[in-house]
Structure 1
């Protein structure tokens, strides 16, 4: 046993992974049988909240690697959930926007997603919920908004 390392039960990276799994379980349940992945849900949520975004900004805000976004966006275009166009001012930039079908998916699942948040707030308490978000933001490598 290495005395320099904390116990795995007190390891921040391991605790964050466990917490992520706990936080994502109700989202996975919500998305089961919809044909929408967790990553696609995040993309739709970000686009619904922020409107049209360039690919780099969207990847950052949806916490995706750029190559993953490229692959996922292609599938989402095929499903009619997003559109992707070239920026007229800078032809190298791709702009991605949610479609009416993508927004309908968000709208149709907003109530259940809100109940997930209520569950977390109930479990943690409002103050701890907000404090946890603030503490996690301290570990964020860069701004998202």
Structure 2
């Protein structure tokens, strides 16, 4: 079941559980804690399987017409089960209903790390298009790829 979560404590609890289980992608403690803290203030969509939260996705406004897929995670044993796609589709619906025209997402540039290549392929399969790469946005080892999509 995909559901929108409104309670700030519940948002932090779910994001902590999922992100701490995905340290390959969220290995920097400071960044992970920032996502957990900030997720409480963002649009928060969670996946619930057998009365257990197994994934989530957060949207944050980055401009009057644009929302960013700020953070997303699905427990590893649920990868490739369709949960990520369901979370994204619900997020896209909420973004459109909220009046946004564009969605963006930032990730590590394709070709740097196999785990991130899977993430890039997921975003491309959702309909995102490459906008730009910022080689030093995060740092030289993690060039920032920005993907965008029109919502209307």
TM-score clears 0.5: no
Computing the radius of gyration over CA atoms, which structure comes out larger, 1 or 2? 1
Higher helix content, 1 or 2: 1
| TM-score (norm: length of structure 2) | 0.28
| TM-score (norm: length of structure 1) | 0.29
